Amino acid sequence: MVAVFVDLPPVLESELFGSELEGRLAPLARVVRPSGPADPDARLAADVLITGWGSRPLPADPGERLKLVVHSAGTIRGLIPPGLLERGLRVSQASAGMAQSVAELAVYLTISRLRDLDRVDRVMTGRRDWAGAGFGLGLTLAETTVGVIGASRVGRAYLKLVVAAGSEVLLHDPYLDESEAKELGARLVPLEMLLARSTVVALHAPVTAETRHMLGADELALIPDGGVLVNTARSALLDTDALLVELRSGRLSAAMDVFDSEPLPADSEWWQLPNVLLTPHLGAQTWHSRRTQGSIVVTEIRRYCAGLDLQHEVYPSTYDLMA
């Protein structure tokens, strides 16, 4: 029987699996949990390791027994050295379970900024003034051009939602061809064209050597006046200082779920900007997301035990893209 070690905080395990992990893996696997801090390497004596937020990074040499790591969250960078995959350790991750949750937050942020709803809420809460606030006219998703950078799982879920709402969608992704973009309801365009023609620019790309700081001062300057930047992906995709210059000027607005420093420091300028909607990196914090992630983890382990192909396996060639 396969030994499965659960390297998760108890609260996260409960959110992912409830109290049903043993039953869902029986009779194929035996579930093992930490007995205490006195045995920090017990996880390496298992065949399968379940990891997630809060799990400790694997050593460069985890030994011979561990064969599979199933990560219940997103990126495995910082947790699993890439060399382990090249040496035969199999890795799967459950980021697909978070896609709908993050995409829905991104759509909420998009609509809120198009309608200036975060400012409306602050004004009404602070002034209790219904008629005299001068809110003006907003925009709808319908007939608004939305530029999506990255056809990731989240990017595709976001695309589906904004296309259904009637947006014209431009897409930039070097790993996609025009026919695939068309099937998603989008038009594949170069990055510069996307930026210059989009009212909303939504980031859904992984952080790689090519995408790190892909939006700097020159790129941000291409976005039309009044444009909205939505980032629920990674802060490293853009030059924060360059974005802050644009936001201070009032030329652009933004909705941000990710930041260079998290939690956001109390003295950060982000708190003071009137044209920015902030959320605290909570894109995947829904019950639906957690239980979907847990279901993926269980299914991957059951498939491994049955000798079937994994559905969410990470390979050395895709390690940098699974962020």
Distance CA 109, CA 105 (A): 6
pLDDT digits (tens, 9 = 90+) for 221-258: 999 999 999 999 999 999 999 999 999 999 999 999 99
Catalytic residue among 234, 246, 290, 313: 234
pLDDT digits (tens, 9 = 90+) for 300-317: 999 999 999 999 999 999
pLDDT digits (tens, 9 = 90+) for 271-294: 999 999 999 999 999 999 999 999
46 torsion bin: left (phi>0), alpha (psi -120 to 50), beta (else):
beta
CA-closest candidate to residue 143, choices 161, 162, 156, 117: 162
- Domain 2-97+287-321, CATH number (from 3.30.450.40, 3.30.1120.80, 3.40.50.720, 3.20.20.10): 3.40.50.720
Catalytic residue among 20, 22, 262, 269: 262
For 33, other C-beta atoms within 10 Å of its C-beta total 14
Catalytic residue among 77, 115, 281, 303: 281
Asked whether this chain's domains 2-97+287-321 and 99-278 adopt the same fold, the reply is yes
| Sign of the torsion formed by the C-alpha atoms of 144, 204, 218 and 210 | negative
Structural domain spans, the chain: 2-97+287-321, 99-278
Distance CA 188, CA 161 (A): 17
Exposure b/e, 134-168, CB count within 10 A at least 16 = b? eeeeebebeebbbbbbbbbbbbbbbbbbbbebebb
Contact 98, 74 (CB under 8 A): yes
Contact 306, 120 (CB under 8 A): no
Q: Which fold has domain 99-278?
A: Rossmann fold (3.40.50)
22 noted as active-site residue: no
Q: Regarding beta strands 29-32 and 228-231, do their DSSP bridges make them parallel or antiparallel, or are they unpaired?
A: unpaired
Contact 74, 51 (CB under 8 A): no
281 noted as active-site residue: yes
pLDDT digits (tens, 9 = 90+) for 37-66: 656 678 999 999 999 998 999 999 999 999
- pTM for the model stands at 0.93
Strand partners, 203: 149, 231
234 noted as active-site residue: yes
